[in-house]
Structure 1
Amino acid sequence: MIIKSYAKINLSLKVIGLRPDDYHDLQMVMLPLDLFDAIEIEKMPFSPDSFVTCDDIELANLKENLCKKSLEAMRAKYKFKDNFTIRIHKEIPFASGLGGGSSNAAVVMLAVNQMLHLKATNEDLIEVGKTVGADVPFFLVNKPALVEGIGERITPIKVKTQYECLIVKPQQGLSTREVYAISDKFQKARVDTDGVIKGLANGDDTLIAKSLGNDLMLPAESLLPDIGVVYDSLCKDGFTIVSMSGSGSSVFALSRDNHKCHEAAKKYTKQGYIVRHCKILL
């Protein structure tokens, strides 16, 4: 079985506060993208273990892969003995704030549910998924949504316009844990979540641009100043809906102009950035 594992952007990310368990309560508007990894998963009837391989050298030596973690979480819940081989064909950049690892984990859960006829509901999978990673529940839904708590409360939202999305990522990635660890030392952005949601529903680019923001951008930029360089450059290029996704290091611009995104993609690729040009999924 081969399944598409889609990326996401955080159009807005507001840190509400630190929880007693040291996680942060968040309020986010998240949009899925038509940028995807391909996950190939097969049952291995006589294998003593499950194996995960990846064609991205940055991920090949990771000690903890979220696909394996999600598989074992499903095994603990549903008590199956089957083992699998999972091959990840990467297109979503690593350590980019685009949710690649969480998305991969979510589609493994969906595939196992289907292949083993477990008949788990989406609500059941979300309960398992939130033990694997904060973004996993969103990818089990994979629709534009308001996402709250640590990622487990998902409310679908309406989006009128299927925007082009230009993603520009510095070669260096960022650790989510490191960004959150210093985030409380920085001033919060002026994020208007309701404004973002209203702007998306009405196709009001001006309202979206005025309302969006990411409370993690300043701490991420302190670790990797190139984020600010890319952000300023995209704004100078005339893009108005610009922000950083997740904990970085990807910066994105939304636009209705395919040609403008295409030309900008060529420019940033020549400058040595990792670039993806895609669309949001409705």
Structure 2
Amino acid sequence: MKHLEKAPAKLNLGLDTPFIHADGSLEWDMVMTSIGLMDYVQIETTTTNRQLEIITDGGSLPENHHNLAYKAANVFRQTTGIQTGLSISIQKHIPVAAGLGGGSSDAAAVLRGLNQMFDTHLSLAQLGQLGLEIDADVPYCVYGKTAAVSGRGEIITPLKPLPKCWLVVAKPRVSVSTPKILALIKHEKLQHQNMAPLIQAVNHQNYLQIVANLGNTLEPVTANLYPQITILKERMLKYGADGAQMSGTGPTVFGICQQASKAKRIFNSLSGFCREVYLVRPLD
């Protein structure tokens, strides 16, 4: 059997971590959307019983148990009791260590794909619970549409699609370690974001209010280490973006525009400054 699954990148329109749990895990309060920048994950059954193989088309990802797609396949097999050997090939387009959830989306694609291939009939909520064992972003990536995300990442509240807009997504030439950034967090010193106005703006399809309520609590933390983030954000706004901010723990910055012509101008202006620049739409 063969199955091909798309694994879209995510953006954080809003991100806050209100507190840390007693077990050391973070509480999250986020608004996320998926975009038309994606990896492709092909899953194929093999005749080798229980063997699990990961193949990627780049040298920057592990092809062993450290890969989130590998972990997803293992968790799925342990939960369902399926013993079939699997070969998973990942065609990468999402930048690595970028705050775009590429690894989490690959893992989510594996969970969705295996669920279809083996007719295990697990719900998205059940797949999300499995995903939480892998990474906090995996439950959202299983769902893959605009949503509010809370708890440890497992509480997904669907929102209306974003109004028509364009997104310029740019990754500066640095890679960010998420664990390193999370270790620097001091919750009492963060400028916490209130997600309620952003959620309301999304559900009312109010583009101007969405732009006005963008926010990422972790942006100052990461930008303090990597000033390229602030420079890139300022350039996007200077070139005409209606709003701009960092996604996830960074370093990727996105600019949002209502007009395609303005987004294309920003894209062209940044192409000489950043090697990895993308002009995309929200998938909704």
Q: Secondary structure at the match of 1:18?
A: coil
Residue 217 of structure 1 is aligned with which of 209, 216, 219?
219
What is the distance in 1 between the residues matched to 2:117 and 2:72? 15
Measure how far apart 1:188 and its partner are: 2.5
Residue segments in structure 1 that go unaligned for 5+ positions in a row: none
> Corresponding residue for 1:58?
60
Assess if the C-alpha contact under 8 Å between 1:162 and 1:281 holds in 2.
no
1:21 maps to 2:23:
yes
Q: Secondary structure at the match of 1:265?
A: helix
> Corresponding residue for 2:101?
99
> Corresponding residue for 1:255?
257
When the two structures are superposed, what TM-score results if normalisation uses the length of structure 1? 0.94
What is the distance in 2 between the residues matched to 1:140 and 1:185? 28
Q: How does 1:191-202 map to 2 (within 5 A)?
A: 191-202=193-204
> Corresponding residue for 2:134?
132
> Corresponding residue for 2:243?
241
Counterpart of 1:129, as a letter, is: G
Measure how far apart 1:60 and its partner are: 4.4
The 1:48/1:188 distance shift into structure 2, 3 A limit, reads closer
The 1:256/1:148 distance shift into structure 2, 3 A limit, reads same
What is the distance in 2 between the residues matched to 1:225 and 1:259? 28
The 1:129/1:96 distance shift into structure 2, 3 A limit, reads same
Measure how far apart 1:38 and its partner are: 0.7
Q: Secondary structure at the match of 1:2?
A: strand
The 1:189/1:127 distance shift into structure 2, 3 A limit, reads same
Residue segments in structure 2 that go unaligned for 5+ positions in a row: none
Cα deviation 1:24-76 (Å, max 9, x = unaligned)? 11100001112111111100023551110111221146760001001110111
How many positions carry a matched residue from both structures? 282
1:87 maps to 2:99:
no
Aligned-pair identity (%): 28
Assess if the C-alpha contact under 8 Å between 1:205 and 1:241 holds in 2.
no
Bigger shift: residues 69-78 or 109-118: 109-118
What is the distance in 2 between the residues matched to 1:145 and 1:107? 18
Q: Secondary structure at the match of 2:277?
A: strand
What is the distance in 1 between the residues matched to 2:93 and 2:173? 14
Residue 75 of structure 2 is aligned with which of 73, 76, 93?
73
What is the distance in 1 between the residues matched to 2:52 and 2:63? 16
Counterpart of 2:191, as a letter, is: A
Cα deviation 1:90-109 (Å, max 9, x = unaligned)? 11110111111001001101
Cα deviation 1:209-258 (Å, max 9, x = unaligned)? 32221111011112211011111111112212211101001000111111
Counterpart of 2:263, as a letter, is: C
What is the distance in 2 between the residues matched to 1:44 and 1:79? 16
Assess if the C-alpha contact under 8 Å between 2:146 and 2:162 holds in 1.
no
Measure how far apart 1:160 and its partner are: 4.8
Counterpart of 1:111, as a letter, is: G
